Structure 1
Amino acid sequence: MKESIYDFNVKTIDGKTISMSEYKHKVLLIVNVASKCGFTSQYEGLEKLYEKYKDKGFVILGFPCNQFMNQEPGTNEEIKEFCSLTYQVKFPMFSKIDVNGDDTEPLYKYLKEQVSGVLGTELIKWNFTKFLVDKNGKVIERFSPSTTPESIEKDIEKLL
């Protein structure tokens, strides 16, 4: 049984498997992202937060997901190019995953078990759901897709 966020391995957008323990002692914002979503412009706010706080121990982890109306149809390579060219994304991006259903990425299964969504549901409702994790790997809060990156800056600052 996985007891910590650091017990998981994930695949980077370039296909390399890494341990989440690489992010020990950092505040994390884990987000399921998509390039053709009404919330896609949040990439801009996410990148600004990352740039502002990365030297203080803050990292955003982007996990592309195509489970919501096919809003992330591209390959990992296409997603990486889109993020880089359109939003100059420099925070770590990972391979496309499922966040719901039988093939849910194990890390996301764990995140959903730690902090449920609206009305206690574990199901992720849409792209750009955000999980805030403290420096000890504890999942602190889950934010809805409509919650802008700018509006959670104070929550991030408290954990740094």
Structure 2
Amino acid sequence: MNFYDKKYELSLSLRQLMIILPYNRAEEYTIEELSNITNFKPGDVEKILKSFIDFEILLQDNAIFKINHNFTNKRVKLKLPAIAIADSKEEASEAKKAVEEDRRYFIQAVIVRVMKAHQQMSHLALVDEVIRTSSSRFNPSIPLIKKCIEGLIEKQFIQRTEEKDQYAYIN
């Protein structure tokens, strides 16, 4: 911050930075204005602004938050505590679904890659190879691997052979 007599270096979270940057253009903002600028919910903006008010970097005058030009601190480097803003249940479930979908695609790609290399494999060998290959990223569940194998059979990437528990790659 260099709009004071003394320059201060702030250590902020990304959300805090997004809230403080608009103050380069104007001296004061309301929660609604900052919410529109940052696309944060007004409640989240209010929580983030609290850390600036606690450090007396910003002052609150009713619903207006303005720069405190009388701010002083003995330290030049200031670390503001990051505010934990919990995602809504909807956002968390959407993120979980997206991760599951990405993992399903990853497992399918691993299965196709392994089957293309080996042309024919037993079920157990295929499952072991998929687990071994994907263990660096995550530990896939066996039911998920089975669902992916069934999906690839339906999509005609692999097929069951006449031997029990054997799969063959379809060129």
Q: TM-score, normalised by structure 2?
A: 0.21
Higher relative contact order (CA 8 A, sep 6+): 1
Which one has a bigger Cα radius of gyration? 2
